[in-house]
Amino acid sequence: MILRTLVVASSVMVFASTAWSGFVTFESAGANPAAITPTRDAFRTAVGGGTVGGANGSFGGQRREINWDGVPNGQSDPNALAADFFNVTSPRGVVFSTPGSGFLVSANGGLGTPVLFGFSSDFQTFSAQRLFTAV
């Protein structure tokens, strides 16, 4: 009986010592995309997963990443982005909603500068030509 109690008590102590101590925060700021890349990559590594789903868009319980660069020009400004684009066309499990009229993703206008929806001093794209906004 004493051995059984000792085994149970030891098990409780082992499991208690492996409990999560709290939330992990990933936070970064910088003058350009390269400044936040290490933090972004640390987050990706911590949660696993990626941008390519398996059969039927399944990510097997892993994270799902939305990569705006994957939005084709036919779904980019001036065309609206379908609210379910990342749930049907390119399955990631997200459907957007807005009290407005829809969504836009900036398109490559043939220039080296992305369209910033009139907020050129407020936004900076992470990868040159794609920025997302509700309309």
pLDDT digits 0-9 by tens, 17-71: 555 567 888 898 888 888 988 998 888 888 776 666 555 556 666 667 777 777 8
Assigned token pair, 43: 């987050």
pLDDT at 133: 80
Does residue 87 share a domain with residue 26? no
Q: What is the pTM of this model?
A: 0.53
The residue behind tokens 């390119």 is: 90
Residue 54 lies in a domain: no
Judge if 33 and 84 occupy the same domain.
no
Residue 55 lies inside a defined structural domain of this protein: no
Q: Please give the single-letter amino acid code of residue 125.
A: T
Q: Does 85 lie in the same domain as 27?
A: no
Domain count within the chain = 2
* Same domain assignment for residues 118 and 86: yes
- What percentage of the chain has pLDDT greater than the value 90? 4
Cα(19)–Cα(6) distance, integer angstroms: 20
Instruction: Tell me the residue length of the chain.
Output: 135
**Residue indicated by tokens 């936070």:** 27
For residues 88 and 36, state if they share a domain: no
**Domain span including residue 43:** 1-47
**What does the block give as tokens for 29?**
């700021």
